[in-house]
Amino acid sequence: MCLLHILSTGSILISMISMVDETQNEQPVPNVMHPSILKVIEQRKAIKEKLSNIKHKIGVYSAKGGVGKTTVSVNLAYTLKSLGYKVGLLDADVDCPNITMFLGINEMFSDEYPLKPVDKDGVKVLSTAMFVDDARKPIIWRGPMIGKMIREFFENTEWGDLDYLIIDLSPGTSDSPLSIIQLLDLDGFILVTTPQHIASINTIRSGMMAKRLGVALLGVVETMSDGSKRGANEVAEAMNCEVIGTVGFSRKFNELSDKGVVPVNQDDEIKEEFLRISKKITG
């Protein structure tokens, strides 16, 4: 009962934050608000201003691990880049970052501050992996530290002008996704699932979280698909959103990604699949 109360109070606080933010031009913030809420509202406002040169911010999300969020993020980013857009790619999986491995990036951050994303073949990339000298080292951080790192990605990073910032989220429905929702004015989430029922159920969880906190759902992508679309259809039906793509199971994803090569840059069939998804997004 007590836990339920805390959980629902937390959601209400976040809903209030987004509600106040949306109406900030019309009505003043009531002065009865708790200082911690006011602080988040201020942070959100400052970040919105700081990122005003980024036209679209899109999260790639599922509460289920291993369904292909990073694969979709990376391949979508490079497909959008090939269509002529200016693209950034943020690894918001703060404690288990993978994007640098998918891209073969070995650069570490110098002491340079504010942070500058690494330009990898025309896409601006940022990840906590760039702070760690060995990919095998665990990043053992509690929630507040993860939230602080995510704020750095927006408050103290020079992203420059972008058409799209693609954000690869971590699994789960807690710290990292919650910070992204709390701080960013997102265009919406692309949900990712596999054909498996257990993946769809957990992806529906993330969709419900997004809806409850006022984030739009841009559609669902099924990865490692057998062509049946049963996972994507299950999510689409539950969340009342569109299936925007299926990516067939192919060993090339494992082989190329493990070598740090982006599949859409190497394989025409894979590129076709991601072009279809990109057109749904840009359209």
- Picked from Mg ion, ligand ATP, none, the partner binding residue 160 (CB below 5 to 8 A depending on kind) is none
What the block records as the tokens of 233 is 């259809």
- Picked from ligand ATP, Mg ion, none, the partner binding residue 68 (CB below 5 to 8 A depending on kind) is ligand ATP
Contacts of 31 (CB under 8 A, 6+ apart): none
- Picked from ligand ATP, Mg ion, none, the partner binding residue 109 (CB below 5 to 8 A depending on kind) is none
Distance separating alpha carbons of residues 205 and 188, to the nearest angstrom: 16
Residue nearer to Mg ion on the CB measure, 47 or 168: 168
- Picked from ligand ATP, Mg ion, none, the partner binding residue 65 (CB below 5 to 8 A depending on kind) is ligand ATP
Write down the least CB distance from residue 170 to ligand ATP, Å: 6
Write down the least CB distance from residue 79 to Mg ion, Å: 18
Residue nearer to Mg ion on the CB measure, 14 or 60: 60
- Picked from Mg ion, ligand ATP, none, the partner binding residue 224 (CB below 5 to 8 A depending on kind) is ligand ATP
- Picked from Mg ion, ligand ATP, none, the partner binding residue 154 (CB below 5 to 8 A depending on kind) is none
Write down the least CB distance from residue 283 to ligand ATP, Å: 23
Task: Catalog residues that contact ligand ATP under the rule CB under 6 A.
Answer: 65-71, 93, 98, 171, 223-224, 247, 249-250, 253-254, 257
Task: Catalog residues that contact Mg ion under the rule CB under 5 A.
Answer: 69-70, 98
Residue-wise DSSP of the chain: -HHHHHHHHHHHHHHHHHHHHHTTTTSPPPTTS-HHHHHHHHHHHHHHHHTTTEEEEEEEE-SSTTSSHHHHHHHHHHHHHHTT--EEEEE---SS--HHHHHT------S-SSB--EEETTEEEE-GGGG-S-TTS-----HHHHHHHHHHHHHSB---SEEEEEEE--SSSSHHHHHHHHH---SEEEEEE-SSHHHHHHHHHHHHHHHHTT--EEEEEEEEE-S--HHHHHHHHHHT--EEEEEE--HHHHHHHHTT--GGGT-HHHHHHHHHHHHHHH-
Residue nearer to Mg ion on the CB measure, 18 or 128: 128
Residue nearer to ligand ATP on the CB measure, 88 or 172: 172
Write down the least CB distance from residue 136 to Mg ion, Å: 16
- Picked from Mg ion, ligand ATP, none, the partner binding residue 178 (CB below 5 to 8 A depending on kind) is none
Write down the least CB distance from residue 69 to Mg ion, Å: 5
Residue nearer to ligand ATP on the CB measure, 254 or 282: 254
Torsion angle, alpha carbons of 79, 222, 95, 186, to 10: 70
Residue nearer to ligand ATP on the CB measure, 168 or 234: 168
* Residue 126 β-bridge partners: 90
Residue nearer to ligand ATP on the CB measure, 17 or 195: 195
